A and B are shown apart, each in its own frame.
Chain A
Amino acid sequence: MNRRDALSRVALLLGGTVIGGELFLAGCTSADKKIGQSVEFTADDLAYLDEIAETIIPATDTPGAKDAKVGAFMGVMVKDCYKESDQKVFLEGMNKLNEASKKKFSGNGFMKITPEQRKELLNELDKEQKAYAKDKKKEDPQHYFTLMKQLTLLGYFTSEPGATKALRYVPVPGRFEACIPYKKGDKAWAL
């Protein structure tokens, strides 16, 4: 499979066609944020994205999304790789997510609520994005939380902490064993 295989592996690296090349950007107070290459994330924006990512992929016995600097990664991807329309969805989504938090938790924005409340909120948003994706037409925009979740998974599992701690990363396998035993709980190979 060769280079065609390489292709599918790149797609895999990117989290498949879902993520590939279509991204976003934003700031939590910034419906007026510029899009395109002039998109800028403030330190507060990135901290906010870090907390969203950490809620999706928390530290457990292995590092979480914050350890993997996924917030900053999201910023880079949204700025460099997202079409403007996806940037808009993402940026607006940062506001929407915060508004949803305020609405649900008596005026408290996402940064002010507890980890448990964050988990509850994002699980709701995850159900919302799954339902949206089911009925969505091809040309419809993605749900902002689909984008956030995809970027979090991509950013985490291809990061050094994610690939080497949550997964097993072997840079130079040196051999191929075609069929070895697997037992539940063994980590997947990175890449």
Chain B
Amino acid sequence: MPDNVYDAIVVGSGIAGGWAAKELTQKGLKVLLLERGENIEHIKDYKSANKAPWEFPHRGGKTTEMTKEYPVLDRDYPLNEMNLNYWTNEKDCPYTETKRFDWYRGYHVGGRSLMWGRQSYRWSDLDFGANAKDGHGVDWPIRYKDIASWYDYVEKFAGISGSKEGLPHLPDGQFQPGMELNCVEKDVAARLKQHYKGERHLFIGRVANITQPLPGRTNCQYRNKCWLGCPFGGYFSTQSSTLPAAVATGNLTLRPFSLATKVLYNKDTKKATGVEVLDTQDNKTYEFKSKVVFLCASAFNSTWVLFNSATDIWPGGLGSSSGELGHNVMDHHFRVGAEGIAEGYDDKYYFGRRPTGFYIPRFRNTGSDTRDYVRSFGYQGGASRQGWNRQIAELGIGADLKNALSEPGPWSLGMTAFGEILPYHENTISLDKTKKDKWGLPVLAMNCEIKDNEKKMRVDMKNDAMEMLEAAGLKDVKPSESDYFMGMGIHEMGTARMGKDPKTSVLNAHNQVWDAPNVYVTDGACMTSAACVNPSLTYMALTARAVDHAVGELKKGNI
């Protein structure tokens, strides 16, 4: 076939795009995988991964120069000198904050799969049924039974370590052996279980770090430097996992520096014919043709492509017929929790840097519990001994201080809640045609905020954390509370939601755009609600499921 024709085009190479490419190529399709940014090759391009702390001139911190260059990144932890090249430069890729929105992006092969938090939890029917039950947003077109086998499938390949807990609201999966809680965490877990009569659970975080080798990957080496890229392939990323699988089929063409600007649409067939690409190196426009298109460009950028694909029939963008395109933006709100000191463990320590903490799944609005808000939250946290940066009030300077700081300090335990944000129609992204990025393309404008339901939940998020840590016997328990602005969770969701009805949703139950059934959107954009657990595992499962559907439909000649 001509060199611009493929069976399928995948836009974006992050978690969703990597999965789409792997599944499509393994099913025999010739696939073009488009990535707007540069290539980062597994191991070879992880420039900081094997550096010692002292090899960073500012020991990992940020310079005033970096602060000027990256004013949004500077708002939270991402701005640092160790993996700065993994984060998107806001000067080249600006956006408009109608209301403050912290957008932390990774424009390169692998996307944020390189820097992600790796926490991996299944949804349950409590989540899939939430919109229908309390009337926010629209009902999900699927239930747990529709996705359970796909969770099985992606967990086995990605490698999720964790423990089985038998909780209906946080289903178990196909786990590798979980990492271990340390002694303080184990005792806190036991005390919570006793105090709350088995209603509250604390266990090791389910994480996409492998504890047993997988093909081409070494098990986690407990360096906890995941976000620099792992030379061992110890965690799931596009580079360590889906990309090599796709490449191995011989069916993949990866094209970095390829910014997808629009989905090409034939109004007679009502189907997409391919994708228009701006090559960011030669600044030329190219057209690639395919039978099916997967948009996996990250929640907001997939919707940006749809917006930018407006035609005279769809002036609001491809997929805009319901009026919901760009609406119902969600994230997880967090930065509220508590911390305390655990006494009586001075003779205990640990070896190795475990790349996960503990998880406490939702308990509010769960089972018989009901609150004056809807939905729920879970906690992520960890216990460790304090390091050299602790304050020692009674010591001044000199050898005594040095000796004291050379030993581990008291045990402290901290945790922060991650709460669900409702899908508000009025939380939107839209095209701001008055502002252009480096390539002259219109940018997104964000107009989103949390509302009363989330604010009420945050009160519980703080108080419950305090109460639990006190019940667990910790001393000097203090709340930890910082401002939250949408986007900070780096879990952008919504803007092209799935649904049962083309009048109220952008995508159907198989992630097909109602208005163009050979276009699938399987990243965070598709989410109909947010649940309170980290979302990436669900994107993986939805993507694999959607590919299976697409290939079936192609064979049947339906798309």
**Chain A interface residues (CB < 8 Å from chain B):** 1-16, 18-21, 37, 55-58, 60, 62, 64, 76-77, 80-83, 119, 122-123, 126-127, 130, 149, 153-155, 157-160, 163, 166-167, 169-191
Expressed in whole angstroms, the minimum distance between the Cβ of B387 and any Cβ of chain A is: 6
* A37, A170, A173 pick with most chain B CB within 10 angstroms: A173
Are B388 and A157 in contact (CB-based, < 8 A)? yes
Residue of A nearest to B61 (CB): A14
Residue of B nearest to A133 (CB): B391
Tell me whether A5 and B346 are in contact in the complex, defined as CB-CB below 8 angstroms, given that A13-B60, A126-B396, A173-B351 are known contacts.
no
Q: Which residues of B contact A119 (CB under 8 A)?
A: 397-398
A-contacting residues, B359-414, CB 8 Å: 380-382, 385, 387-389, 393, 396-399, 401-403, 405-409, 414
Are A1 and B382 in contact (CB-based, < 8 A)? yes
Expressed in whole angstroms, the minimum distance between the Cβ of A165 and any Cβ of chain B is: 9
Q: Which residues of B contact A122 (CB under 8 A)?
A: 396-397
Are A1 and B347 in contact (CB-based, < 8 A)? no
Cα(A83)–Cα(B409), bound, Å: 31
Are B61 and A5 in contact (CB-based, < 8 A)? no
Are A163 and B62 in contact (CB-based, < 8 A)? no
Are A178 and B52 in contact (CB-based, < 8 A)? no
Q: Which residues of A contact B355 (CB under 8 A)?
A: 2, 5
Cα(A98)–Cα(B503), bound, Å: 75
Are B54 and A127 in contact (CB-based, < 8 A)? no
Q: Which residues of A contact B348 (CB under 8 A)?
A: 179-182
11 A-B pairs besides A3-B77, A80-B58 with CB distance below 8 A are A3-B118, A10-B82, A14-B61, A14-B389, A56-B398, A57-B397, A123-B396, A127-B396, A180-B349, A186-B349, A189-B353
* B60, B80, B388 pick with most chain A CB within 10 angstroms: B388
Cα(A123)–Cα(B397), bound, Å: 6
Q: List 7 A-B contacts (CB under 8 A).
A: A2-B118, A2-B205, A10-B60, A19-B389, A58-B398, A174-B221, A188-B407
Q: Which residues of B contact A7 (CB under 8 A)?
A: 76-77
Q: Which residues of A contact B389 (CB under 8 A)?
A: 12, 14-16, 18-19, 153-154, 157
Cα(A37)–Cα(B65), bound, Å: 9
Q: Which residues of A contact B350 (CB under 8 A)?
A: 176-180
* A160, A163, A179 pick with most chain B CB within 10 angstroms: A179
Expressed in whole angstroms, the minimum distance between the Cβ of B162 and any Cβ of chain A is: 13
The answer to whether the Cβ of B240 comes within 8 Å of any Cβ in the partner chain is: no
Q: Which residues of A contact B416 (CB under 8 A)?
A: 4
Are B57 and A76 in contact (CB-based, < 8 A)? yes
The answer to whether the Cβ of B442 comes within 8 Å of any Cβ in the partner chain is: no
Cα(A183)–Cα(B490), bound, Å: 41
Q: Which residues of A contact B77 (CB under 8 A)?
A: 3-4, 6-7, 10-11
Expressed in whole angstroms, the minimum distance between the Cβ of A87 and any Cβ of chain B is: 9
The answer to whether the Cβ of B64 comes within 8 Å of any Cβ in the partner chain is: yes
Expressed in whole angstroms, the minimum distance between the Cβ of A50 and any Cβ of chain B is: 15
The answer to whether the Cβ of B28 comes within 8 Å of any Cβ in the partner chain is: no
A-contacting residues, B117-141, CB 8 Å: 117-119
A-contacting residues, B133-164, CB 8 Å: none
Expressed in whole angstroms, the minimum distance between the Cβ of A23 and any Cβ of chain B is: 9
* A81, A82, A155, A160 pick with most chain B CB within 10 angstroms: A81
Are A3 and B398 in contact (CB-based, < 8 A)? no
Cα(A149)–Cα(B407), bound, Å: 18
Are B59 and A173 in contact (CB-based, < 8 A)? no
Are A172 and B223 in contact (CB-based, < 8 A)? yes
Are A2 and B406 in contact (CB-based, < 8 A)? no
Cα(A127)–Cα(B319), bound, Å: 65
Expressed in whole angstroms, the minimum distance between the Cβ of A79 and any Cβ of chain B is: 9
Are B408 and A173 in contact (CB-based, < 8 A)? no
Are B207 and A2 in contact (CB-based, < 8 A)? yes
Are A3 and B405 in contact (CB-based, < 8 A)? no
Cα(A167)–Cα(B353), bound, Å: 15
Are B223 and A159 in contact (CB-based, < 8 A)? no
Tell me whether A158 and B407 are in contact in the complex, defined as CB-CB below 8 angstroms, given that A4-B416, A181-B347 are known contacts.
no
The answer to whether the Cβ of B539 comes within 8 Å of any Cβ in the partner chain is: no
Are A3 and B115 in contact (CB-based, < 8 A)? yes
Expressed in whole angstroms, the minimum distance between the Cβ of B66 and any Cβ of chain A is: 9
Tell me whether A5 and B57 are in contact in the complex, defined as CB-CB below 8 angstroms, given that A123-B398, A180-B351, A185-B407 are known contacts.
no
Q: Which residues of A contact B407 (CB under 8 A)?
A: 184-188
Are A171 and B224 in contact (CB-based, < 8 A)? no
Are B221 and A158 in contact (CB-based, < 8 A)? no
The answer to whether the Cβ of B193 comes within 8 Å of any Cβ in the partner chain is: no
Cα(A171)–Cα(B117), bound, Å: 21
Are B380 and A4 in contact (CB-based, < 8 A)? yes
Q: Which residues of A contact B406 (CB under 8 A)?
A: 62, 166-167, 187-188
A-contacting residues, B29-59, CB 8 Å: 50, 52-54, 57-59
Are B408 and A14 in contact (CB-based, < 8 A)? no
The answer to whether the Cβ of B90 comes within 8 Å of any Cβ in the partner chain is: no
The answer to whether the Cβ of B356 comes within 8 Å of any Cβ in the partner chain is: yes
Stretch from B176-184, B251-259, B322-330, B544-552 that touches the partner: B176-184
Are A179 and B117 in contact (CB-based, < 8 A)? no
A-contacting residues, B163-190, CB 8 Å: 179-183, 186
Are A56 and B227 in contact (CB-based, < 8 A)? no
Cα(A184)–Cα(B403), bound, Å: 11
Are B388 and A188 in contact (CB-based, < 8 A)? yes
Cα(A166)–Cα(B402), bound, Å: 8
Are A157 and B207 in contact (CB-based, < 8 A)? no
Are B58 and A76 in contact (CB-based, < 8 A)? yes
The answer to whether the Cβ of B314 comes within 8 Å of any Cβ in the partner chain is: no
Expressed in whole angstroms, the minimum distance between the Cβ of A88 and any Cβ of chain B is: 14
Q: Which residues of B contact A187 (CB under 8 A)?
A: 406-407
